[in-house]
Amino acid sequence: MVTTRRQFLQDSSVFLSVGAAAWPWMTSEAKEKSMLNKTSPVIVSTWPFGKASNDEALRILQQGGSGLDAVEKGIWVTENDLSNSSVGAGGMPNAMGVVQLDSCIMSGPGHKAGSVAAIEGIRHPISAARRVMEKTRHVMLVGAGAREFALKEGLEVAEMPTEGRRREWLQWKAEQEKSAAKNHDTIALILLAPDGHLYGGCSTSGWAYKLPGRVGDSPIIGGGLYVDDEVGAAGATGIGENVMRYCGSFQVVSFMQRGATPTEACLETVKAIARKDPKGADLSINFIAVDKKGRYGAAGSAQGFSYSVTTPKFSQVETGRAISTKELGPVGGNRP
């Protein structure tokens, strides 16, 4: 029997109507893809200095760059800022006067990660971390091995510390009474890309005048950064020891997976850590987060933590939530 065009169209419409009822996932999947294609990028980073990095990340995305390109080149801005004493070539040296840098990067698609720790003389440790992720079978390289790998990859070197940082170190060394906790900031940058995937990166020079070889939370996957492409991404800043002992960023993403908003997830993580830690609320830790829906938020252990948010519609510095003693109840591992 010959099927006419009219009959074919009629039969097709019947099939489609029956198919949509019998297999509703077909229409919902198509709808989801449509929504993802229209996702506006959301970029979140730690501290007011992260705003410049956010703006560069957005520019990269708008020019067609990938989410990883945006994270890497965005963090480059902060790594290049010699006035920033906590990240990149302008970072503070360790107790021996040597600048050792930490960094990591994560890609939601494929759940991939790369990291470098205690790397010396490399201008952009975030790029070294990305090369580890993309060009080796490893997740983390450290110290001299990380530097050798970066040099073989042709990454740019830099003179560290700067003359100004060296003078400060010499003064500290002479005095031996300046607080070693002077500096522990980080650039953590996380984003939801236009394709609906999540990415993140972290870079820091770590604790000022730290012991040589000390590594904080920034290059630790699940500590200073964690990305789950089905849920969300989180990053941390503050005293790394107080983050890494509790897998802080991983906890934030876990709370989001259980239904918390990004702000709620950050707040609950700080509270959970404070209830267990002997320091209680005196932790100096802060978290940022963004979820798969494009919602974002931040929270810290004290008032005044500022973070940066950028979308195609705005770029601004906001203040994160802070825990209060009343919210905590018994702290420091003293719960009954």
pLDDT digits (tens, 9 = 90+) for 134-189: 999 999 999 999 999 999 999 999 988 888 888 888 887 777 644 544 556 799 99
Rounded to whole angstroms, the Cα distance separating 129 from 331 reads 37
The residues facing 237 across adjacent strands are 286
Q: What DSSP string runs through 79-103?
A: HT-TT-TTSGGGSPP-TTS---EEE
Q: Is 296 part of a structural domain of the chain?
A: yes
Q: Is 21 part of a structural domain of the chain?
A: no
| pLDDT above 50 for 17 | no
Beta-strand pair 187-192/315-319 = unpaired
Q: Is 332 part of a structural domain of the chain?
A: no
Question: For position 188, which CATH number holds?
Answer: 3.60.20.30
Rounded to whole angstroms, the Cα distance separating 44 from 290 reads 7
Confidence of residue 10 (pLDDT cuts 50, 70, 90): very low
Q: How many domains does the chain have?
A: 1
- Per the CB < 8 A criterion, the answer to whether 273 and 255 are in contact is no
3 part of the active site: no
- Per the CB < 8 A criterion, the answer to whether 269 and 238 are in contact is no
| pLDDT above 60 for 21 | no
- Per the CB < 8 A criterion, the answer to whether 28 and 291 are in contact is no
Confidence of residue 281 (pLDDT cuts 50, 70, 90): confident
Residue 209, token pair as written in the block: 């005048």
pTM here is 0.84
Confidence of residue 269 (pLDDT cuts 50, 70, 90): very high
Q: Which of 46, 186, 204, 263 is catalytic?
A: 186
Rounded to whole angstroms, the Cα distance separating 145 from 131 reads 13
Q: Is 306 part of a structural domain of the chain?
A: yes
Mean of pLDDT over the chain: 86
Among residues 240, 180, 219, which one has the least CA distance to residue 75?
219
Please compute the mean of the pLDDT values over residues 186-198 and round it to a whole number.
96
Per the structure, the complete domain to which residue 74 belongs is given by 40-327
Rounded to whole angstroms, the Cα distance separating 309 from 45 reads 7
pLDDT at 20: 35
Please compute the mean of the pLDDT values over residues 216-226 and round it to a whole number.
97
Q: Is 61 part of a structural domain of the chain?
A: yes
Q: Is 146 part of a structural domain of the chain?
A: yes
